[in-house]
Structure 1
Amino acid sequence: MRDDLRARYGEERLPRYTSYPTAPQFSDAVGQEAYGQWLTSLPADAAASLYLHVPFCRSMCWYCGCHTTITRRDAPITDYLAVLRREIELVAERLASPLAVRHVHFGGGTPTIMEPYELLGLVVLMRQRFILDDTAEVAVEIDPRTLTPAMIAALREAGVNRASLGVQSFDPAVQRAINRVQSLEQTARAVEGLRAAGVRGINFDLIYGLPHQTVDSCIDTVRQGIELRPERFSVFGYAHVPSFKKHQRRIDEATLPDGEARYAQAEAMAEALMSVGYCRIGLDHYALPDDSMVKAQVEGALHRNFQGYTTDPSDILIGFGASAIGQLSQGYAQNEVVLGRYAERIQRGELATAKGYALTDDDRLRADLIERVMCDFRVDVGEICRRHETAPEIILQAIPKLRMLQDDGIVHLEGDVLSVNDNARFLVRSVASAFDAYLGFSGRTHSRVV
Structure 2
Amino acid sequence: MTKNALTYASRNVPRYTSYPTAPHFHGGIDGALYADWLRACPPETELSLYLHVPFCREICHYCGCHTKATRKDAPLIAYAKTLGREIELVAEKLGSARPVSHIHWGGGTPSLLPQESLLELAGLLRVSFALSPDLEHAIELDPRLVSPGLAATLAAIGVNRASLGVQDMDPVVQRAIGRVQPYDDVVRATDALRNAGITALNFDLMYGLPHQTSATILDTVARTLELAPSRIALFGYAHVPWMKKHQRLIDEAALPSPQLRLELAEIARSALLEAGYEAIGLDHFALSDDSMAIAQREGRLRRNFQGYTTDTATALIGLGVSSIGLLHQGYVQNASDVGAWERAIEAGRLPIVRGIAMDDDDRARADIIERLMTDYEADVAAIATAHGMQVSAFDESIAKLDDLVVDGLALVDGYRVRLTDAGRTYVRIAAAAFDAYLGKAAPTAVVPRHSMAV
Deviation of 1:4 (Å): 2.5
Counterpart for residue 279 of structure 2: 280
Q: Which amino acid aligns with 1:448?
A: M
How many Å separate the matches in 2 of 1:449 and 1:123?
38
Q: Which amino acid aligns with 2:81?
A: A
**Are 2:232 and 1:228 equivalent residues in the alignment?**
no
TM-score by length of 2: 0.97
How many Å separate the matches in 1 of 2:122 and 2:217?
37
Counterpart for residue 416 of structure 1: 415
Deviation of 1:407 (Å): 1.5
How many Å separate the matches in 2 of 1:381 and 1:41?
29
- Kept in 1, the 8 Å contact 2:23–2:448? The answer is no
Aligned partner of residue 103 in structure 1, secondary structure = strand
Deviation of 1:3 (Å): 4.1
Aligned partner of residue 145 in structure 1, secondary structure = helix
Counterpart for residue 2 of structure 1: 2
How many Å separate the matches in 2 of 1:264 and 1:281?
19
- Kept in 2, the 8 Å contact 1:144–1:190? The answer is yes
How many Å separate the matches in 2 of 1:333 and 1:365?
19
- Kept in 2, the 8 Å contact 1:142–1:164? The answer is yes
How many Å separate the matches in 1 of 2:374 and 2:430?
12
- Kept in 1, the 8 Å contact 2:361–2:389? The answer is no
Counterpart for residue 443 of structure 2: none
1:47-58 to 2 correspondence within 5 Å?
47-58=46-57
How many Å separate the matches in 2 of 1:384 and 1:351?
33
How many Å separate the matches in 2 of 1:381 and 1:365?
9
- Kept in 1, the 8 Å contact 2:2–2:407? The answer is no
Counterpart for residue 157 of structure 1: 156
How many Å separate the matches in 1 of 2:207 and 2:58?
21
Count of paired positions: 449
**Are 2:445 and 1:446 equivalent residues in the alignment?**
no
Q: Which amino acid aligns with 1:337?
A: S
Structure 1: runs of 5 or more not aligned: none
- Kept in 1, the 8 Å contact 2:397–2:433? The answer is no
Distance 1:444 1:355, change over 3 A: closer
How many Å separate the matches in 2 of 1:175 and 1:47?
40
Deviation of 1:299 (Å): 1.2
TM-score by length of 1: 0.98
Aligned partner of residue 104 in structure 1, secondary structure = strand
Deviation of 1:335 (Å): 0.3
Distance 1:227 1:243, change over 3 A: same
Deviation of 1:237 (Å): 0.4
1:290-439 to 2 correspondence within 5 Å?
290-439=289-438
Q: Which amino acid aligns with 2:212?
A: Q
Counterpart for residue 23 of structure 2: 24
Counterpart for residue 132 of structure 2: 133
1:71-150 to 2 correspondence within 5 Å?
71-150=70-149
- Kept in 1, the 8 Å contact 2:329–2:358? The answer is yes
How many Å separate the matches in 2 of 1:269 and 1:434?
28
Deviations 1:354-395 (A, max 9, x none): 100100110001001000000001111121122122233331
Deviation of 1:200 (Å): 2.1
How many Å separate the matches in 2 of 1:38 and 1:74?
35
- Kept in 2, the 8 Å contact 1:115–1:151? The answer is no
Identity value in percent: 50
Counterpart for residue 198 of structure 1: 197
Structure 2: runs of 5 or more not aligned: 441-445
Structural RMSD (CA): 1.2
In the TM superposition, structure 1's runs of 4+ consecutive aligned residues that sit over 6 Å from their partners are none
Q: Which amino acid aligns with 2:73?
A: D
Aligned partner of residue 91 in structure 1, secondary structure = helix
How many Å separate the matches in 2 of 1:34 and 1:63?
36
- Kept in 2, the 8 Å contact 1:244–1:445? The answer is no
Counterpart for residue 257 of structure 1: 256
Deviation of 1:33 (Å): 1.0
Q: Which amino acid aligns with 1:433?
A: A
- Kept in 1, the 8 Å contact 2:411–2:418? The answer is yes
Deviations 1:114-135 (A, max 9, x none): 1122111111000011111222
Deviation of 1:48 (Å): 0.4
